[in-house]
Structure formats: C-alpha cells, structure tokens
Structure 1
Amino acid sequence: MLVSSLVNAGLLLLLGAALYAAPSPLLNPRTVPFGVRVPPERAEDPRVDAERRRYRAPVLWATVVGTVAATGLGALLDSVAAGVVTGLVLCAVAAVLWLRAHRALSEAKERGDWYAGLRQGAVADTSLRTDPVRLPWAWSVPSFVVIAVTAVIGAFAYPGLPDTLAMPERSGDGTRYHEVATTFWTAFSMVFGQILGTAALLALVAAMLRSRADLDASRPAASSARHRRFLALTSRALLAISAVVDLMLLGLSGMLWTDNRSTPVLFTVVGVPALVTLGIVVLLAVRVGPGGERLPEGADSENTGMVQRDDDRHWRAGGTVYTNGDDPAVLVPRRVGMGWTLNLGNPRALIGSVAVLVLVLGAAALATLGLLG
C-alpha cells in the first residue's frame, strides 16, 4: 500500500509541476504565449502575465487535491490506477484552462490591434537545405555498441534458457509476470526494441535536421547561426537519450534471461535511465530553450525592423496543431512545448503519419505473435 501511495503521489506531483510550468518561456517561445503569436514588445504584456496567473492557480489547486485523492485511493485500493485516472483528469483541467487563456489572448490581440504599424515578415536561410547540419553519427555509436553487447549476451544465453520466460506487465496493483513460450522472438524482444527504437530516433533526427526553421525576422543571420547550434545540440542530446534507453533494455533483457523478478532491481533498471533522460531534457530546456532561444546570438547590430508574421490562422487547438496546405514543410517548430510537429495540411505529412502507424501496428502484431508463440 505504501508503494502504491508513493507512486501515485510522485506521478501527480511530477505531472502537476510540468503542467504548472507549461506557460513558462522556458518551455515555449517567448513571443508565443499560450500558442498566440504576439509582437516581441507584447511578450511581457500585463494581460499575458494575468492569463498565466489565471491558468496556474487552478492547476496548482487541482494538483494538490488530485495528489491527496490519488494517494488516499492508492493506499485504500493498493493500486496505481487511481494515480493514472487522476492524472488524466488533471490533464483535462489544464487543457481547458489553456484553451481559455489562448482564446482570451487572441481576443485581446485582435481588440488592441497589437500588430498595427508593424512590418511583418518571414525569412528563410536556403543554406540550411543546401548545406544542412550533419547528423552526428559518432553520437549514435554508443547505441550500436549497447545493441551489439545485448545481442551477443543473448546469443550465449539463448541455448540455456528454460522452456518458458517470465514477461513483466503493468497491472492495476503493480508489476505482474506471465509465462510465455521461449522462442527467438520472445527471447530477443528487447533487442528488437533497441533496433527499432534506435532506427526510429535516427530517422527523427535526420528529419529534424532538415525541418523548417522559425528564424527571427529582425535578425535573420544571427538567428540562422543560433539555429544551427540548436540543431547540433538537440541531435546529440536525442542520440544520448537513445543510448540510455538501449541500456535500460539491456538491463530488462538481463532480468528476462536470468528470471530475475526483483522489484528493487526492476525499479533500478527502469528508474535510473528515466532519471538520466529527464536530466538531459531539463538541461536542454534550461541551457538551450525552445528553438534555441536561450543560446547567445552574438553582439552584432543587425536589425531589419521587421517582426515575425502573425500566422495564428494556421494553428488550431490552442496552438498545438499546424495545418497549412501552402507550406511545403512537413515538420515545423512546435508553438507549445519543445520540439517539432507535423504540418497536417501537407499530404506528405499525412502519408508519413500513416506509414509510421503501420510500422507501429506491425511491430505490435509481431511482438504479440512472439508472445503467443
């Protein structure tokens, strides 16, 4: 009961902290509060601060109430299900509050005509396509080494494995194990996960390096140089995370092959890589920022006198969904949170989404067949 209560409390507190920090410039571009494009001089407008307070206060109270409720129910039912359900409710509350703030800022911008008298523009650096930032292959070597080590250990262990293997699975009252027949697919399931995960991340990094850059219209040259540094740092961080995840799967494979069902060992094998991954993400957010906003640009006096074009009409669902059929880009920088999102108005993005979905479903079907075999 104590473990379930602690897991529920930790889940809700971490989720609540993330939702509370969501409107922060640390996680979103400074000139896009709540997914609404505003001129730079309006980024710290009193109405923006007011909407942040109106969002954060209810989120804070909902986190406190949800944590208490989930902790109590976890102790009563000895289950983490209460924390999961309460977390979903907390996310729904935050989404409603976000949409309210988004609508309020959009209306304030329209009523106040915040872009009146300003020269709007968009800039592009063609060298980002003709001479793109190179994929840092050296940073993928640790992942390949871990995969190779896992496969070699598995090859030596496979002949001596028992007829059945204990596969862990999450349930409402913790981790349970179910017996499956020992086959090539079940014994090396984690290795397949390493290979697929690393390949998918490499493809993501390659696509990211050729994605559209959201350059500052007032300082295009300095912004382009900063964007290159941002891509280099982000790609290295993602490949480092890939290696950490592969190490976790190596540990899980070892537990599977030795029939180790120790809960402390499982928490260590999963928890330590999770904390390392979280540390990399936090460091990236603090030192780099969304789109590299926290990286220095240099001391030059470049200023075109333009501001970023107001393109709110292409963003839906509180600034989280981008649809622009006239934009050839498939990946574009996110407005809410760090990273990239698909241009759902581009047919290539839809085709790519379907292809990824087919691959995921195929991998899931393959894993299911392996478990049943």
Structure 2
Amino acid sequence: MITAIFYISMLLIMVFIFSILPYITRRTEQFGVTIPYKIYMRTDIKQIRKTYVFYTILLGIIIALLQLCLHIFFRENVQHIGFTINTFLFIILSFFVYLQFHKKMKNMKAKENWPVEKTQRTVIDTSFHLERNVLSNWFYLIPLVVTIGTILYTFFMYDSIPNEIPMHTNVNGEVRYDAKTPFNVLVMPGTQLFMIGLFFFINIIIGKAKQQIHAGNPKVSKIQNQLYRKKWSRFLFISSVLMVLMFLFIQLTFIHPILQKYETPITLVIIAIIFIGSIILSIRTGQGGSRLKIDDDQIDDHMIDRDEDEHWKLGQFYFNKNDPSIFIEKRFGVGWTNNWAHPISWILLLLIIGTAIGIPLLLTNL
C-alpha cells in the first residue's frame, strides 16, 4: 500500500508539473513558438492552453490507473519496473501531446503573420553580467565542510562500522547489505561531492547564461531576469545543503544501524521539501522572472523579441552554431538548456553522466 501511494503520488505530481508549463513560460513564447506579448491573453490562445492541460491530465490519469493495476494484480518487483516504464511512458507521450500544440501555434503564427506586423528587436545590456546576479560560489564551502566532516567521522568510526553495511533502502524500508570495505563506506561522501559539484556548476550556469530581455519593456524585463537568477541561485544553494545533510544522515545509518528506521522518512521529507519548493518557485517566478510583479510594467506592443524559431528544433532544442552562448533559457517551462550546436554542451553532458555513474561504480568495486 505504501509503495502504491508513493508511486502514484509521484506520477500525479509529474502530471501537475507538465500541465502548468504553458502558464509559467514567458508570455512572449507559447509551446516553443515566439509570439507578441498581448497575443498571450487572446481568447483562442487561452483555450489552446486549457486544451493542452486537459489532454495532459487525461494522459496522466490513464498512466496512474495503469500503475494502480500493477499494484493490484502483480508482485512488487513488477510494480517497481512498471513505475519506471510508466514514468518514461508519460514523459514520451506528453511530449507528443506538446508537439501537437507546437504545430498548432506555428501554423497560427504563419497564417496571421505576427512577425510582419511588429518591429523585431534584440536587446542586450552590456552591464548585465557585470552585476552580481547569483550567490557567491564561496557559499559552497559550507556543504563542502559538511562533506569533509562526513569523511573524517567515517574513518574515525571505521572499526565500529558493522562488517556488512546497508547500501540501498526501498520505499518499503527493505535494506540491501554489502560487505564493508574502505572504499564502499565512501559512496555517500562521494555522492555528496558530486552533488556539491553539480549545484556549484549550475550556479555558474545561472550567472553566465545568455540574457533574454523582452524588447517591449527592457527595463522591467532586466530587473525580472536578475531577480529570477538570484532567487534560483539561493534556492539551489539551500537544496545543495539539504542534499548533503541527507547523505550525511544516510552515512550515519552505516555507522549507527539504530538510525536505519529513520532513513526512509527523512529522505522522503528532504526530497519533498526540495521538490515542492522548486514547484512553488517556478510558479511564483515564471520563466526568466516573467511572473514577478515590477512597477512601471508598461509594454510597447509595437516591439517584439527577435524571432529565433528556426534555431529551436521542435520548440525545445536550441541549435545555433553562430551563437557563442552555451547556456540559454528554455522555451517551454522554467530553467536553462544548452546550445546543442556547441561541442562543449555535449562534452559537459557526457562528463556529468560519466561522473554520476562512475563514482558509485568505482567505490563499490575497489
């Protein structure tokens, strides 16, 4: 029962996130297509968003019911595998739902000639990246100190650690044990280091990402974008500290087995805090800070952002070999993505994946 509630809840949260994406994206972009600011509130565009939400929720309910059937008719191992399959199935099918609305917006834009009716302009503020828009990277010394403390305490207590240590706990609280070695006791500290490095890197991305300032109101748009970066930078730092503390507690369960009964609830609470916090922040800020209320919010409807739809494949994947930027705001949803025409983007992706897989494998096999 606990497994069923957990898995179905995760699926429904995912459905909620996907369903609100058109509402937290910039008002100058809909389903990966550039649009004039005031078009966003037009009745037919509103209806398109509502229809997208309907189909996304309908798809999510069907997937959740499939997961429920697995818990009613099949064994636990099938339930776990089924959850993974259903998660990817929802992501893939929801992308196809998105594509239908992306095509609809492209056709509507071509039919009504929105770019022809407006003056296109790209706004660049040369002082933007000279101002501090993110937390100082020195803040990440705090979780690093916690990690060093975790390593030192682990080796100080090494002889007291049981010969078999817990390596994995599922949502039912069932624990898998492995024989203790000087290396596998460092899996959690290694994961801590990886998480610190990842959040540190994301903080740099937030600070260096290409600025996107709305041509119709550059002054307000700049302030919104700066506040957006500051808020997400602070949230990610808090998340990094929470994650490091979570892995610290998991490490303590290796050393003090009496704590193992608290591992699952504490882990779920911390993950829930980060997950719910990211959803709330996404809704409050919108993409690029577009939902933040700033005084003097006057829009010049004769100006629109430069149309770069040709560089956004399927409205979500940015390929522009003439753009030196590596990181850029997403077109659909909240956050940043890469310029996939830049080789460094692929190198960074491979490094992150390789490190995430390599650290646990290396430490558990030495």
Q: When the two structures are superposed, what TM-score results if normalisation uses the length of structure 1?
A: 0.88
1:162 aligns with 2:162: yes
CA contact under 8 A between 1:9 and 1:67: conserved in structure 2?
yes
CA contact under 8 A between 1:227 and 1:292: conserved in structure 2?
yes
Distance in structure 1 (CA, Å) of the matches to 2:31 and 2:356? 36
* Structure 1 counterpart SS, 2:320: coil
Other-structure match for 2:325:
329
Distance in structure 2 (CA, Å) of the matches to 1:363 and 1:105? 38
Distance in structure 1 (CA, Å) of the matches to 2:74 and 2:146? 40
Distance in structure 1 (CA, Å) of the matches to 2:359 and 2:157? 22
Kindly state the Cα deviation for residue 301 of structure 1 after the two structures are TM-superposed: 6.0
One-letter amino acid matched to 1:368: L
Distance in structure 2 (CA, Å) of the matches to 1:366 and 1:206? 22
Other-structure match for 1:277:
274
1:252 aligns with 2:245: no
Kindly state the Cα deviation for residue 362 of structure 1 after the two structures are TM-superposed: 4.6
Other-structure match for 1:233:
231
Kindly state the Cα deviation for residue 41 of structure 1 after the two structures are TM-superposed: 1.6
Match runs of 1:137-176 below 5 Å: 137=137, 139-168=139-168, 176=174
Query: What per-residue deviation string (whole Å, max 9, x for no partner) do you get for residues 62-96 of structure 1?
Result: 22232223113213224233333223222222111
Distance in structure 1 (CA, Å) of the matches to 2:122 and 2:355? 41
Distance in structure 1 (CA, Å) of the matches to 2:94 and 2:356? 33
Q: How large is the RMSD of aligned CA atoms in angstroms? A: 2.5
Other-structure match for 1:316:
313
**Farther off after superposition, 292-301 or 217-226:** 292-301
Kindly state the Cα deviation for residue 226 of structure 1 after the two structures are TM-superposed: 2.7
45, 57, 69: which one pairs with 1:48? Answer: 45
* Structure 1 counterpart SS, 2:114: coil
Distance in structure 1 (CA, Å) of the matches to 2:134 and 2:12? 39
Distance in structure 1 (CA, Å) of the matches to 2:178 and 2:184? 8
Kindly state the Cα deviation for residue 212 of structure 1 after the two structures are TM-superposed: 0.7
1:126 aligns with 2:126: yes
CA contact under 8 A between 2:157 and 2:255: conserved in structure 1?
yes
Change (3 A) 1:254 1:229: same
352, 358, 361: which one pairs with 1:365? Answer: 358
Change (3 A) 1:304 1:131: farther
Other-structure match for 2:346:
350
Distance in structure 1 (CA, Å) of the matches to 2:357 and 2:92? 28
CA contact under 8 A between 2:166 and 2:175: conserved in structure 1?
yes
Change (3 A) 1:210 1:362: closer
One-letter amino acid matched to 2:212: D
Kindly state the Cα deviation for residue 125 of structure 1 after the two structures are TM-superposed: 0.9
Question: Which consecutive unaligned segments of at least 5 residues does structure 2 have?
Answer: none
Kindly state the Cα deviation for residue 282 of structure 1 after the two structures are TM-superposed: 2.5
CA contact under 8 A between 2:210 and 2:327: conserved in structure 1?
yes
Distance in structure 2 (CA, Å) of the matches to 1:162 and 1:235? 39
* Structure 1 counterpart SS, 2:55: helix
Distance in structure 1 (CA, Å) of the matches to 2:348 and 2:271? 29
Change (3 A) 1:238 1:363: closer
Change (3 A) 1:296 1:363: closer
* Structure 2 counterpart SS, 1:336: coil
Q: When the two structures are superposed, what TM-score results if normalisation uses the length of structure 2?
A: 0.90
* Structure 2 counterpart SS, 1:184: coil
Kindly state the Cα deviation for residue 40 of structure 1 after the two structures are TM-superposed: 0.7
Other-structure match for 2:283:
286
67, 70, 75: which one pairs with 1:70? Answer: 67
168, 190, 194: which one pairs with 1:196? Answer: 194
Change (3 A) 1:152 1:84: same
Change (3 A) 1:260 1:31: farther
* Structure 2 counterpart SS, 1:43: helix
Other-structure match for 1:17:
16
Distance in structure 2 (CA, Å) of the matches to 1:250 and 1:136? 24
- Higher RCO (Cα < 8 Å, 6 or more apart): 2
Other-structure match for 1:29:
26
One-letter amino acid matched to 1:103: K
